[in-house]
Amino acid sequence: MVTHISHNPEETQALGEAWGRTATLGEVIALRGDLGAGKTQWVKGLARGLGFEGRVHSPTFTLANVYAGGRLTLFHLDLYRLETPEQIRSAGLEEYLRPAGVTVVEWAERWAELPVGQGRPVDVVNGPLRRVFWVEIETVNEAERRIVYANLGD
């Protein structure tokens, strides 16, 4: 596990950008954090690191945004409005677990196939997932965020 302390949104974006520069095809990033913790700021940086130059925003109401045009396509999912495993399954998001690019799932703890912090994630349809990472952003105080990274896959 790796831990960073961010002191502002720009630092949070810079951490995401550094990740984006080294991201590889097929990565799934399970992203956790309370409302306002900085999840979307981190994703904005990730997109920039992948070479995407457009506007990035949370897909809270659309469930998924796709950002193409960079080194890899970014699939940005937000499960905030989906409260049960049945709602997530019926949303048809399974294809994003094996992305033709990089997938980030905000509120990933709601997806049973991504048991964040409970060992190796398993896609119940297709078996073990590979290249799965966990990123948690915790509000320490008004000015600081603790950002913790862990590799959950192979």
Domain at 6-121, CATH class: alpha beta
Taking the CA atoms of residue 47, residue 52, residue 53 and residue 58 in that order, the dihedral angle to the nearest 10 degrees is: -40
Q: What is the percent of the chain where pLDDT is above 70?
A: 86
Distance CA 120, CA 130 (A): 9
| pLDDT at site 11 | 96
**Cα 84 to Cα 32, 33, 76, 112, 121, distances in angstroms:** 17, 18, 19, 9, 18
Which two tokens mark 75?
């699939």
Whether the CB-CB separation of 55 and 40 falls below 8 Å is answered with no
- Average pLDDT taken over every residue of the chain: 85
| pLDDT at site 114 | 56
Banded model confidence at residue 9, pLDDT cuts 50, 70, 90: very high
> Mind listing the pLDDT tens digit for each residue in 56-67?
998 888 899 999
Distance CA 125, CA 129 (A): 10
pLDDT average, residue stretch 130-151: 88
| pLDDT at site 130 | 57
Q: What is the pTM of this model?
A: 0.85
Banded model confidence at residue 44, pLDDT cuts 50, 70, 90: very high
DSSP per position, 101-133? SEEEEETGGG-TTS-TTSSS-EETTTEE-SSEE
Q: Are strands 132-141 and 144-151 parallel, antiparallel or unpaired?
A: antiparallel
Distance CA 111, CA 95 (A): 13
| pLDDT at site 60 | 80
> Mind listing the pLDDT tens digit for each residue in 86-139?
888 888 888 888 888 999 999 888 776 554 444 444 444 444 555 788 899 999
Q: Taking the CB of residue 128, how many other CB atoms lie within 10 A of it?
A: 11
